[in-house]
Structure 1
């Protein structure tokens, strides 16, 4: 890869695709089911990331999103950027995320890494495209990790991406023994 912007864009795209892979083959119920005390769910992570991209690659650089984000309205339900309402199907949320990608990609293509924007919700809001790319890559990768864990809780599917799980190719018995060993080690600290 000859160009830093191209490399950063590639890392962003890789994390985007990892997030969407975690949704494949699941029902609407499984995609929406809250798996943590704070309600973390797969579809909510994708919806949140769509908003992240539209904000950071949109308003920050004077390129407002072509999509109205209804969850920003004063009368929106609490924390609604982190879950899909009954009216928002998985197809809709994934489509929204892909629209966000297209808008973000156009911004990334149009600007140089040193071009300046302003993040209105940051105290020192002046940023470069480079800064925003690194920030959004980090946030997307963080949420891809959340999605990885949630997906494993749903049906045991785990790994980096389709065709390259990045996990040891071991059978269920090996994994059961491995987890049992980890529990034994952890329990040793209670004695």
Structure 2
């Protein structure tokens, strides 16, 4: 009973956060979805591309259910990091489409297997896993990257996923956030001068 509940709960959360990841691309130019916004090159479309590969691997080869499209090998040093950005020849539609196909493949694996079904993750120090371990890992990884995407999107155009109507009813409008940021800046500067 608890196994079915845990599997469905984790799977439901994964479905939701996948959609969040794709919404972060909405309304942005090709340049902005690909633009490196950190010193290491983190970008929105690259995060989606990375998650597509992760799901294809984790819910594919780990459980002997290979993703039907070519997937870069996990142990190929030449390809390391290539899943974190999109070339000029890869379209947004190709990458988001592949992510959606990876979802469908993952969903089929999750539905078909019991939560305690065994798998093998050769790149982990303890490679013997169950579907439960992989569900938690992929959900955690996707949420982590959704947090990155939240910050990147806010840097690009100030867009954040919040209940703006509810916040406006509580007086949390643009002026509120400007004052909030100023208050935080003052506290940071004051703490910095105490250090010096």
Structure 1's unaligned 5+ residue stretches are none
Matches within 5 A, 1:92-131: 92-131=94-133
C-alpha deviations, 1:66-91, integer Å up to 9, x for none? Answer: 11125869585652110001111111
Q: Which residue of 2 aligns with 1:155?
A: 157
What does 1:57-96 correspond to in 2, within 5 Å? 57-70=59-72, 74=76, 76=78, 79-96=81-98
1:23 aligns with 2:10: no
Alpha-carbon RMSD? 2.2
Q: For the structure 1 residues 39 and 166, does the alpha-carbon distance in structure 2 shift closer, same or farther, using more than 3 Å as the test?
A: farther
Q: CA deviation at 1:151?
A: 0.4
| Residues 72 and 79 in structure 2, CA contact (< 8 A), matched pair in contact too | no
- The alignment status of 1:136 with 2:138, answered yes or no, reads yes
- List per-residue Cα deviations over 1:97-141 (Å, max 9, x = no partner): 001101100100110001100001012100000111011100000
TM-score (norm 1): 0.91
**For residues 112 and 166 of structure 1, do their structure 2 counterparts lie closer, same or farther at Cα, with a shift above 3 Å needed?**
farther
Deviation above 4 Å: which 4+ runs of structure 1? 70-78, 164-167
The alpha carbon displacement at 1:190 in A equals 1.8
Q: Which moved more, 1:69-78 or 1:93-102?
A: 69-78
Structure holding more helix per residue? 2
Contact 1:70/1:76 (<8 A) preserved: no
Q: Does 1:177 align with 2:179?
A: yes
5+ residue gaps, structure 2, are none
Please tell me whether Structure 1 or Structure 2 has the larger radius of gyration of its CA atoms.
Answer: 2
User: Which of 19, 34, 41 in structure 2 is aligned with 1:39?
Assistant: 41
